[in-house]
Structure 1
């Protein structure tokens, strides 16, 4: 079991720098941030750019994998975004992981004046986004004249990436999906699959939905000829109406249940002072004390104190 931490891009850089560095010192297995222009209840609060934040994070860390959880086509085109991601991966020394999702229907979807798309249109657009990034991030062969594709949603005409990718064959994809078509896409293109469980479900209903989705992902993987145990499985554990870092007991419980359901990774959020994900940074000390045993003993949570 690997434990990841999400650091929302809200703090002034001197504060954020401390958090990114501390995530590495604590021994977390990955440090992530969101990719939004604004987000839900925090829409009127400071919210910094994703790529500059991750670039700075890459320069103040040296070993921890870093990534975005998750980028969407709501306001991004594969060509310039692939260039940014490839550059980030090179700066980080091949530590970058790219979370991808179809994008919600809120502010990020409307800010550029786009029409409201149907679920099918959103999936079709996402599928093109993923396939385009897959081609671009493998980089063009020397002398090939670049990467070209012409879809219903995105076009590239002899796009140049330049240079060999830091990751081979490309940056790892962690694809968010709850529906069957999205899960098949995740199984086909993803090195990882991530879920937040069923929207609106809380408590035990949420855990039931998580178990069901894990089984459905296995079926989706088999349907596209992928080993169901091949992609990593990520669970966003601050879902289902609770926050995993409310207490160390709560953290132990959700991690243990995620292990039982076959997840390889869980991701929580750095505690905020108030509002969503409100909590104490002291809990992080207790979590950090558990990380070596989680790594060494195959996910067995040590009993401390």
Structure 2
């Protein structure tokens, strides 16, 4: 099983740099960051842009894959964003992965006056926009020129030179919890990521994750795609209990995820307080004791 860690873009670079370096030294396969204008309980605190953060991370790492978890159309248009993605793919020398999702209602839309999408149109509108956003990025990153006219986006003869380092384009890990968004992941994703259901009950969360995993397998089968052809990522910290609460809890989370067929497990760098509050000593012990076990058990 591969592992990824999320480093929130909340620290000035002189503090953040060592986390990105350490993520690579620790042996994580991925280091992710959030792509938001601001996020939930941290909206009034420090927050930096994902693209320049990842560009800086690219300059201090050499092997670890870097990515957004997740970008959304809430405040991004596919044409300029595709240029940013091309740059990140180049700066990482092909180590960049786009984590992409539909986006929800919240600060990301409110801060811009909700000009990108009338939230009163509801989740169906967000889903249609999501499909169009991902499809547009697919074209923009894989084709030399793109022209497209849709319900939400219009693209006129957009160029994509010099193209991605990774061919035919950089990989997408698509966030999806329901069948319609899973269809987008099945069509465009090299990976699928789920946050599981919204619940305060840990056992119910795992039951929900199991149901979603089975549903995604059915979606893949429906389009004739083998489940082995796409990576299954689990955002472990959407569970009511933080994955790095203890070493044994992380080991238990990894075991449950593997039993459900997940190939990739995502945790978050411990914070001093609030969301993802935990101890870096636990993280370091997990790195020493558990990550080697997961790599040794990876048969993919």
Indicate whether the TM-score tops 0.5: yes
* Cα separation, 1, equivalents of 2:164 and 2:143: 7
1:149-164 matches, within 5 Å, as 149-164=148-163
SS in structure 2 opposite 1:5? Answer: strand
Alpha-carbon shift at residue 284 of structure 1 (Å): 1.7
Number of equivalences: 294
Alpha-carbon shift at residue 165 of structure 1 (Å): 1.3
SS in structure 2 opposite 1:213? Answer: helix
- After superposition, what is the alpha-carbon deviation per residue over 1:204-231, rounded to whole angstroms, capped at 9, x for unaligned? 0000000000000001111122112221
Corresponding residue number in structure 2 for 1:175: 174
1:42-61 matches, within 5 Å, as 42-61=42-61
SS in structure 2 opposite 1:57? Answer: helix
SS in structure 1 opposite 2:238? Answer: coil
SS in structure 1 opposite 2:113? Answer: coil
SS in structure 1 opposite 2:67? Answer: strand
* Cα separation, 1, equivalents of 2:193 and 2:239: 15
SS in structure 2 opposite 1:229? Answer: helix
1:1-305 matches, within 5 Å, as 1-114=1-114, 115-116=118-119, 117-140=121-144, 146-289=145-288, 290-298=290-298
* Cα separation, 1, equivalents of 2:106 and 2:12: 25
* Cα separation, 1, equivalents of 2:250 and 2:217: 26
- After superposition, what is the alpha-carbon deviation per residue over 1:146-182, rounded to whole angstroms, capped at 9, x for unaligned? 2111111011101112113111111100001111111
TM-score (norm 2): 0.96
* Cα separation, 2, equivalents of 1:273 and 1:285: 15
Structure 1 stretch displaced more, 261-270 or 289-298: 289-298
Question: Which structure: greater helix fraction?
Answer: 2
TM-score (norm 1): 0.94
* Paired residues of 1:139 and 1:165 also in contact (CA < 8 A): no
* Cα separation, 2, equivalents of 1:210 and 1:243: 16
SS in structure 1 opposite 2:139? Answer: helix
Distance verdict in 2 for CA 1:55–1:237, change over 3 Å: same
- After superposition, what is the alpha-carbon deviation per residue over 1:267-289, rounded to whole angstroms, capped at 9, x for unaligned? 00000011110111111211211
Corresponding residue number in structure 2 for 1:302: none
Alpha-carbon shift at residue 9 of structure 1 (Å): 0.2
SS in structure 2 opposite 1:205? Answer: helix
* Cα separation, 2, equivalents of 1:59 and 1:85: 16
After TM superposition, which residue ranges in structure 1, 4 or more long, deviate above 6 angstroms? Answer: none
* Cα separation, 1, equivalents of 2:45 and 2:185: 32
Could you tell me which runs of 5 or more consecutive residues in structure 1 were left unpaired when the two chains were aligned: 141-145, 300-305
- After superposition, what is the alpha-carbon deviation per residue over 1:31-61, rounded to whole angstroms, capped at 9, x for unaligned? 0000000000001000001100000000010
* Paired residues of 2:86 and 2:163 also in contact (CA < 8 A): no
Could you tell me which runs of 5 or more consecutive residues in structure 2 were left unpaired when the two chains were aligned: none
- After superposition, what is the alpha-carbon deviation per residue over 1:243-298, rounded to whole angstroms, capped at 9, x for unaligned? 00011011001000000000000100000011110111111211211222321233
